[in-house]
């Protein structure tokens, strides 16, 4: 019996240590230190060693939580801090352009995306102005999140030599016809959205096309790249009778990048690290699409 109890204790210790040494949940919203001085510890408790010290107004990102302790990260600090001496920063209170500039881990592109060079790509940040879109369980406005995603994506595509047009660059209301107005000469049109439903249990990514021959190759390339990179459920590629797809004469797709109606998923998709990762995935999907088109045309 004694050996059994020792074994059980060892297993419990292993489980506890693994849960705080290697946090594996997505990054939460940013926090700010409210105390004049705050210790960073090697584990979630006062008995753990102090590894660093933070000053008031230091900004960090939370990537795990145990009781009253946060596991926090910045460019040069990782460890546990006491929750009581921090304050959560609401992403909705920060302008999308400022959210893009926050110091967060950057998800780099896995390879050179040379097939994007010279391509004209329209990015449509869904909703805007009086049209808030979906509202998350924590108060996230879809219109803010789509714009932040569009701005990050624009930056990455332009670095690869693409000509990028945004249907909106700030919080403004657009008619659906205005969104497709510039797409007549585009090589691809991407409408960015985030999902919501009455069920708080639904999660995942989905993409839409309207014209089978025109749109589905683009949708498929982006969808596969999203699924390969994002840790979200694959809800498939679907036919969608949406104006921005139906009335579009160029290859187009509408993507739903997660559910704001699921609290855990809302936290994940709100993080800058997710935004960096998902925009890299879209860029790689676009590159694959144009590469496939070039190969097809070569063999004609």
Annotated catalytic residues are 256
Tell me which long-range contacts 79-83 makes (C-beta under 8 A, separation of at least 24): 79/40, 79/41, 79/42, 79/51, 79/52, 80/20, 80/40, 80/41, 80/42, 80/43, 80/44, 80/45, 80/48, 81/33, 81/38, 81/39, 81/40, 81/41, 81/54, 82/38, 82/39
Distance separating alpha carbons of residues 274 and 268, to the nearest angstrom: 7
Nearest Cα to 239, choosing from 218, 212, 262, 264? Answer: 212
- Residue in 174, 81, 72 with CA at minimum distance from that of residue 122: 174
Reading the block at residue 88, the tokens are 């959560």
* Contact predicate 294/115, CB 8 Å: yes
The angle, 0 to 180 degrees and rounded to 10, between the axes of the packed helices 142-159 and 272-298 is 50
What radius of gyration, in Å, describes the C-alpha atoms of the chain?
22
- Residue 233 tokens read as 């459920």
Q: Under a CB-based contact definition with an 8 Å cutoff, are residues 223 and 158 in contact?
A: no
């Amino acid at each position: 019996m004694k050996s059994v109890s020792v074994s059980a204790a060892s297993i419990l210790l292993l489980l506890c240590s693994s849960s705080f040494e290697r946090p594996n949940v997505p990054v939460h919203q940013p926090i700010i230190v409210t105390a004049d001085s705050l210790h960073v510890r090697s584990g979630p408790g006062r008995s753990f060693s102090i590894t660093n010290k933070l000053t008031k107004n230091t900004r960090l990102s939370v990537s795990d939580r145990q009781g009253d302790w946060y596991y926090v990260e910045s460019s040069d600090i990782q460890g546990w801090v006491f929750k009581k001496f921090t304050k959560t920063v609401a992403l909705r209170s920060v302008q999308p352009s400022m959210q893009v500039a926050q110091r967060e881990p950057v998800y780099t592109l896995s390879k050179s995306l040379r097939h994007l060079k010279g391509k004209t790509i329209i990015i449509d940040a869904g909703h805007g102005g009086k049209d808030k879109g979906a509202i998350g369980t924590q108060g996230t406005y879809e219109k803010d999140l789509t714009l932040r995603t569009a701005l990050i994506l624009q930056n990455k595509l332009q670095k690869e030599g693409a000509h990028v047009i945004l249907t909106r660059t700030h919080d403004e209301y657009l008619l659906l016809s205005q969104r497709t107005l510039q797409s007549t000469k585009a090589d691809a049109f991407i409408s960015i959205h985030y999902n919501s439903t009455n069920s708080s249990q639904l999660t995942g990514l989905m993409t839409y096309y309207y014209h089978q021959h025109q749109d589905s190759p683009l949708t498929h390339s982006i969808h596969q790249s999203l699924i390969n990179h994002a840790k979200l459920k694959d809800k498939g590629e679907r036919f969608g009778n949406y104006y921005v797809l139906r009335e579009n004469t160029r290859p187009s797709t509408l993507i739903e990048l997660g559910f704001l109606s699921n609290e855990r998923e809302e936290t994940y998709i709100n993080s800058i690290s997710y935004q960096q990762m998902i925009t890299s995935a879209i860029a790689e999907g676009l590159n694959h699409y144009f590469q496939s088109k070039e190969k097809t045309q070569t063999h004609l």
